[in-house]
């Protein structure tokens, strides 16, 4: 138990990788609707949550933060393409740039 707790605390911060893919989960839930009509409300609710989650992820993938590597170099955080002040979209990956500058040293 102690060991497990420590592993959890030391785990790298970042998006967790889930073994189940959302489309698979949605397909399974759609099938479950027919098999378990008594749980229809709960299944619909879960599908709603998944749809919201997917929508949010889509928006997220269209945006890229601008990162300041040094005082004279700004790059797209997603593809590392050089970005010029005033750019709206990245020239490398085409994502919409989010000008929310943080220190670039990571």
Residues that bind Zn ion (CB under 5 A): 64, 76, 78-79, 81, 90, 92-93
Nearer to Zn ion, 43 or 67 (CB): 67
Q: How far is the CB of 16 from Zn ion (least distance, A)?
A: 24
Q: How far is the CB of 36 from Zn ion (least distance, A)?
A: 44
Tell me whether residue 3 is exposed, middle or buried, using C-beta atoms within 10 angstroms of its C-beta: 0 to 12, 13 to 18, 19 or more: exposed
Q: How far is the CB of 95 from Zn ion (least distance, A)?
A: 5
Closest by Cα among 90, 35, 25 to 64 = 90
Rounded distance, CA 98 to CA 68, Å? 12
Nearer to Zn ion, 46 or 81 (CB): 81
Task: Supply 2's token pair.
Answer: 């102690």
């Amino acid at each position: 138990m102690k060991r497990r707790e420590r592993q959890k605390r030391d785990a790298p911060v970042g998006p967790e990788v889930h073994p189940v893919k959302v489309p698979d989960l949605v397909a399974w839930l759609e099938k479950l609707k027919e098999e378990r009509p008594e749980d229809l409300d709960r299944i619909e609710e879960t599908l709603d949550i998944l749809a919201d989650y997917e929508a949010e992820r889509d928006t997220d993938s269209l945006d890229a933060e601008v990162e300041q590597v040094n005082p004279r170099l700004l790059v797209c955080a997603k593809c590392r393409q050089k970005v010029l002040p005033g750019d709206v979209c990245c020239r490398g990956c085409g994502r919409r740039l989010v000008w929310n500058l943080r220190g670039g040293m990571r």
